[in-house]
Amino acid sequence: RYEITQREASAEILPGVKTPLWTYEGTFPGPTIESRRGRPITVTHRNELPVPTVVHLHGGHTPAASDGYPTDLVLPEGWHDAAMPTGHGSEHGSHGMHDPRAVVSKLTRDYTFPLDQRATLLWYHDHRMDFTAPAIWRGLAGLHIVRDDAEDNLGLPEGLRELPLMIADRAFAADGSLDYPALDPTLRERPGVHESYLAGVLGDVILVNGAPWPVHEVDTARYRLRILNASNARHYELEAVTDDGRRLDLVQIGADQGLLATPVTHRLLPIASAERYDVIVDFSGVPVGSRVRLINRLGSGRTRDVMAFRIARHATDDSRIPRTLSTDLPTWRRSDAVQVRDFSFRAGQMRGDHGWLIGGLPFDPARTDVTARLGDVEVWRLVADVHHPVHLHLVGFRVLSRSGRPPLPHDAGLKDTVSLRPGEAVEIITRFDGYRGRYLFHCHNAEHEDMAMMANLEII
């Protein structure tokens, strides 16, 4: 049982200035929850923020009532009309729509997570309809690690050598406050602001676990980096580079939904919003006193740097990377699928304004877009105009193909978010198991999501 209070707080993120935040328990990121596979937990969230909130456990195999449907609001004290927009969000979404199925709570809500799922890194974040992007930007995000015995016994780096890394970019005003184009209505008149909002909001400061460009001291040993891209819209291509320009191997051992079957070695690791990569880096060949920089090849200027590791001391290392990491990955085949569905993810017009649409339609909580039968295997073909990281609630899936070609090396394993690149068609396969009810799939560029790139998935 956990209790989390959502409240305003401030932190010194940049030296010498205070940044007002919306937080889980007063910190950004919120508290990291660690749980065991198959051991249910209940998290009671109390909303002391000035706006309604919704909590979603991203990657959780969760009954619909606790999945954080975007209209299942937790209202703060004194808030009466669940549909009232606050004016803080995008004003491009579908706010004000009435959803007869919404289950609205006052002040607190219990979220119950059975956690009957593979061990992995999940994250929890706000999911309120039309206002998710500014809420995450202001700080409503935290990590949740699910562990199990099988993984504990593999001999992977652990303890201080296991580092969860929540990477997120932010922009700051001179007074230290977070700068978000739609937070201040006057900014939206400035030329270019609307365009930058439409594509997804980028910051010029890279935070890792809430700190700008941190330097972490490490031993000459293997480390397990559990990387989450919690940025609203920024893509990364990560490289670990030594002072003398050598690129270290990034040995991927896990994806969004847990361990791979066997390790996959990368030099360059692409990571889109909401994706997680579980990666081993070996610092044993790096001279003590020197550094390894984690850089983003897609960044420029100061957004090229993400963080650095300073090799502080010699140490022994009895960790290992087993050749077989797991044997329980689903092996769905195309011929198992009872349905093949097509979805386009494209820009379009919505009520006279720009929107982002799935299958030509903006999100509407009252419309069921997909009805799937519990237990059915389906293949979905996802087509993109520009870059869209597509996320399904409830289930993990496997990537079958990219534009008719085999999946890329980093598509390995079980995922819940897949990066559709511009112009690409990606096929995924999944089985809708576990729970019936109303779920979602959507683009996880948080601004696209708020501009209605989301759809309903009803499991019957």
Using CB under 6 A, list all residues that contact ligand C2O: 56, 58, 125, 127, 274, 391, 393, 440, 442, 444
Residues 211-242: b if buried by 16+ CB within 10 A, e if exposed: ebbbebebbbbbbbbbbbbbbbbbbbebbbbb
- Work out what residue 445 binds among Cu ion, ligand C2O, none; the CB cut-off runs from 5 to 8 Å by kind: Cu ion
Which residues does residue 22 pair with via DSSP β-bridges, in sequence order?
A: 8
Give the nearer residue to ligand C2O in terms of CB position, either 168 or 286: 168
Which residues does residue 437 pair with via DSSP β-bridges, in sequence order?
A: 459
Give the nearer residue to ligand C2O in terms of CB position, either 101 or 333: 101
- Burial of residue 139, with CB atoms counted within 10 A of its CB: 0-12 exposed, 13-18 middle, 19 or more buried: buried
Give the nearer residue to ligand C2O in terms of CB position, either 57 or 311: 57
Residues near 344 by Cβ (< 8 Å), separated by ≥ 6? 357, 358, 359, 360, 383, 384, 385
The first and second tokens of residue 224, run together, are: 């397990």
Give the nearer residue to ligand C2O in terms of CB position, either 144 or 222: 144
- Work out what residue 92 binds among Cu ion, ligand C2O, none; the CB cut-off runs from 5 to 8 Å by kind: none
CB of 137 to Cu ion, least distance (A): 16
Closest residue to bound ligand C2O by CB: 58
- Work out what residue 128 binds among ligand C2O, Cu ion, none; the CB cut-off runs from 5 to 8 Å by kind: none
Give the nearer residue to ligand C2O in terms of CB position, either 127 or 431: 127
Dihedral angle computed from the Cα positions of residues 136, 234, 386 and 129, in that order, rounded to the nearest 10 degrees: 0
- Smallest CA-to-CA distance from 420 within 406, 394, 399, 439 is with 399
Give the nearer residue to ligand C2O in terms of CB position, either 92 or 393: 393
- Work out what residue 62 binds among Cu ion, ligand C2O, none; the CB cut-off runs from 5 to 8 Å by kind: none
CB of 248 to ligand C2O, least distance (A): 29
Give the nearer residue to Cu ion in terms of CB position, either 280 or 382: 382
The owner of tokens 């109390």 is: 46
Amino acid at 213: W
The owner of tokens 């009252």 is: 366
Site for Cu ion contains 445 (CB under 5 A): yes
- Work out what residue 127 binds among Cu ion, ligand C2O, none; the CB cut-off runs from 5 to 8 Å by kind: ligand C2O
- Smallest CA-to-CA distance from 202 within 451, 454, 446 is with 446
Is 228 in contact with 164 (CB distance < 8 Å)?
Answer: yes
CB of 416 to ligand C2O, least distance (A): 8
Amino acid at 184: D
User: Which region among 29-37, 50-58, 263-271, 308-316 touches Cu ion (by CB under 5 A)?
Assistant: 50-58
User: Which region among 314-322, 347-355, 421-429, 435-443 touches Cu ion (by CB under 5 A)?
Assistant: 435-443
CB of 12 to ligand C2O, least distance (A): 28
Give the nearer residue to Cu ion in terms of CB position, either 95 or 387: 387
- Among residues 448, 454, 455, 457, which is the contact residue for Cu ion, using CB under 5 A? 448
d(CA 125, CA 230): 9
- Work out what residue 235 binds among ligand C2O, Cu ion, none; the CB cut-off runs from 5 to 8 Å by kind: none
- Work out what residue 448 binds among ligand C2O, Cu ion, none; the CB cut-off runs from 5 to 8 Å by kind: Cu ion
- Smallest CA-to-CA distance from 347 within 460, 445, 236, 242 is with 445
- Work out what residue 440 binds among ligand C2O, Cu ion, none; the CB cut-off runs from 5 to 8 Å by kind: ligand C2O
Is 290 in contact with 242 (CB distance < 8 Å)?
Answer: yes
d(CA 316, CA 336): 48
* Contact mark string toward Cu ion, 379..408, x via CB under 5 A: ---------x----x---------------
- Work out what residue 443 binds among Cu ion, ligand C2O, none; the CB cut-off runs from 5 to 8 Å by kind: Cu ion
- Work out what residue 442 binds among ligand C2O, Cu ion, none; the CB cut-off runs from 5 to 8 Å by kind: ligand C2O
Whether the CA torsion 277, 214, 315, 286 is positive or negative: it is positive
**Sites for Cu ion among residues 158-217 (CB under 5 A):** none
Instruction: Respond yes or no on whether the N-terminal peptide bond of residue 29 is cis (omega within 30° of 0).
Output: yes
Give the nearer residue to ligand C2O in terms of CB position, either 59 or 263: 59
Residues that bind Cu ion (rule: CB under 5 A) add up to a total of 6
d(CA 229, CA 215): 18
Residues near 376 by Cβ (< 8 Å), separated by ≥ 6? 338, 339, 431, 432
d(CA 262, CA 256): 15
Give the nearer residue to ligand C2O in terms of CB position, either 137 or 283: 137
Which residues does residue 417 pair with via DSSP β-bridges, in sequence order?
A: 391
Give the nearer residue to ligand C2O in terms of CB position, either 58 or 388: 58
For Cu ion, the binding residues (CB under 5 A) are: 58, 388, 393, 443, 445, 448
